[in-house]
Amino acid sequence: MENYSKARTVEQPSVCPFPDLHPGTPEVHVKDGSKIRNLLRFALSRMEAKSRTSEEEGRPRPEEGGVSVEGQQETPGRPLCKQVVFTASGKGVSKAITCAEIVKRRVKGLHQLTRLLYSTVVEVWEPLEPAAGLDSLTVNRNLPAIWILLSRDPLDCSQPGYQAPGRYDALWAQSISREEGGVSGQRAGHRRKRGGGGGGRGRGPIRQTGRSRESTKGQS
């Protein structure tokens, strides 16, 4: 490809795999350069009641930071949404997963449905020297894409990718207790090793030097 240069790139996003969404459900399109705080501010403003305060004045618009909602704008009188969708492709997949997990911790009792798809990226390459007789090239690349649906209403648990709402406090308590137990066990082991001089690896009898032998003979 040293004789070609990339002319343009066109991304064909995947179609939303959730056909039975509530009307007015926001779709948060997460990009690689999106800021997580802007994404969470918009998503939580549609899911939490306490966001309807005057503190929202002066904050960035929902479209900033890579949030794209189809023709929708945040208004103070809008009722709370029961569902929200996070979608991303390529390098933004991990950031979309992070946003979904944070929203699940803030808003308890959310059901999750995850879909893994592919989005097509079309790249057009033009020759550097048109007089050389080279033709333009069109390259199609498939990027992994993710769609995450968070819903207050119960979803079909038989669908693949379904996650029921769970308690995270018990999970974190177990992990913390395991870590503390492992650290305490390691510390106790180190202490035993340091204080075990009289064990199996004891020191042998003390050798006497020539001067010490002469001193003992003189004393005798």
SS3 40: helix
Per-residue pLDDT, averaged over 36-40, amounts to 94
What letter does residue 132 receive in the DSSP assignment? Answer: G
Model confidence at 14: pLDDT above 90? no
User: Over the stretch 59-79, which tens digit does the pLDDT of each residue have?
Assistant: 444 444 444 443 344 445 567
**Tens of pLDDT, residues 118-127:** 988 899 988 8
**What is the reported pTM?**
0.62
Phi, psi of 190 (to 5 degrees): -65, -40
User: Tokens at residue 130, please?
Assistant: 């048109």
**Pairing status of strand 111-127 against strand 137-151:** antiparallel
Q: Has residue 47 got a pLDDT over 90?
A: no
Q: Report the DSSP pairing between strands 137-151 and 27-30.
A: unpaired
Average pLDDT, the chain: 76
Residues 6+ apart with CB under 8 A from 115: 17, 18, 146, 147, 149, 161
What's the pLDDT tens digit per position in 141-164?
899 999 999 999 999 999 999 999
Query: What's the average model confidence in pLDDT over 193-208?
Result: 54
CB-CB contact of 23 with 70 (8 Å): no
Q: How far apart are alpha carbons 2 and 100 in whole angstroms? A: 41
